[in-house]
Amino acid sequence: MNDIESELLDIVSQVRMHLEYQKMLGMRSIELIPAVTASPTDKADAPSSANKEQTPAIKKEKVPKTEKLGPCLSAGLAAVREDLGNCSRCKLHKGRKNIVFGEGDPNAVLVFVGEGPGYEEDQQGRPFVGAAGQLLTDIIVKGIKLRREDVYICNIVKCRPPNNRNPEPDEISACEPFLLKQLEAIKPKIIIALGNIAAKTLLKTGEGITSLRGRWQTYHGIAVMPTFHPAYLLRNPKDKALVWEDIKKVIMEMDKIRKG
Ligand code: SF4
């Protein structure tokens, strides 16, 4: 098989995975929009300034003015964001540049929850955009065979802890209610908890990620798979194999959900 054939097969496989994922979300049909090519005839038929008044105006949809909140914000998530406001409920607000609310599919079946924004995330107002974010994107795209925008990505705390220290208990307590509201709006079937802080916070346990990872748990009725944080994997690449074991369990569970 040559390179082009294998690339085509890869594209077909990714399209199939995406359609199956959309089906799992309840999509029953695909709207085909014919390509429109302007031709000289089209131009000739175009309304002149004289008959412009009879031409119905094309109304542009209002795009809500938000921070960088990802491609789509459902009404439920928008309400949570509005409720959060210019939050100063904990001391992390003092050093942040941006609130990193989260981004992705507002109806995602799969949600990734990390610990908190780092420098790059704070600068851009988006979760997981640095080197660890690239690794997470690889896990989603190459491992799970979804697009990054098919899942939802957020953190336990939405403002960057100074010097990337761990978020403190009072900060977690102040911010977690908003994570819970986000999850209630999204209604995912599976959460992947990335790293110690995310796993301990969601599962209300003192157990560390090394013993928690790879074992299904629940958070408010949602299945949770704890695994190592991508930033940890950058420092300990040998443990990528363990994360792949965990991700394979998630893929199997998503398969089951897909098949009903
Ligand atoms: Fe508010 Fe959460 Fe930021 Fe604290 S971390 S200021 S609770 S948004």
* Residue pLDDT tens, the chain, 260 long: 666 676 666 666 666 655 565 555 445 455 444 443 333 333 333 333 333 333 333 333 333 344 444 446 899 999 999 999 999 999 999 999 999 999 999 999 999 999 999 999 999 999 999 999 999 999 999 999 999 999 999 999 999 999 999 999 999 999 999 999 999 999 999 999 999 999 999 999 999 999 999 999 999 999 999 999 999 999 999 999 999 999 999 999 999 998 88
- Ligand 1 atom at minimum distance from 84 CA: 8
Distance CA 227, CA 206 (A): 15
Ligand 1 pocket by Cβ (under 6 Å): 84, 87-90, 92-93, 99, 157-159, 171, 174-175
Distance CA 233, CA 67 (A): 29
**Mutational pocket test of ligand 1: of 80, 81, 88, 155, the residue with most ligand atoms within 8 Å of the beta carbon:** 88
- At 17-55, the pLDDT tens digits run 555 655 554 454 554 444 433 333 333 333 333 333 333
Predicted confidence at residue 192, as pLDDT, reads: 98
- CB within 8 Å of 237: residues ≥ 6 apart: none
Predicted confidence at residue 153, as pLDDT, reads: 98
CATH number of 71-259: 3.40.470.10
- CB within 8 Å of 232: residues ≥ 6 apart: 195, 239
Predicted confidence at residue 8, as pLDDT, reads: 67
Distance CA 163, CA 95 (A): 10
Distance CA 89, CA 112 (A): 24
Identity of residue 166: N
Q: Copy the structure tokens of residue 43.
A: 């131009």
* CA 174 – ligand 1 centroid, Å: 7
* CA 88 – ligand 1 centroid, Å: 6
Q: The pTM is what?
A: 0.77
State the angle between helix axes of 169-186 and 195-203 in degrees (0 to 180), rounded to the nearest 10: 70
Q: Cα 229 from chain centroid?
A: 15
**Mutational pocket test of ligand 1: of 87, 88, 182, 197, the residue with most ligand atoms within 8 Å of the beta carbon:** 87
Residue 52 is given by DSSP the state G
Predicted confidence at residue 134, as pLDDT, reads: 97
* CA 205 – ligand 1 centroid, Å: 22
**Mutational pocket test of ligand 1: of 67, 89, 91, the residue with most ligand atoms within 8 Å of the beta carbon:** 89
Distance CA 191, CA 110 (A): 6
Distance CA 188, CA 182 (A): 10
Domain ranges of the chain: 71-259
- Identify whether the C-beta of residue 218 lies closer than 8 Å to the C-beta of residue 193: no
* CA 28 – ligand 1 centroid, Å: 39
Choose among 25, 178, 193: nearest CA to 109.
25
* CA 141 – ligand 1 centroid, Å: 30
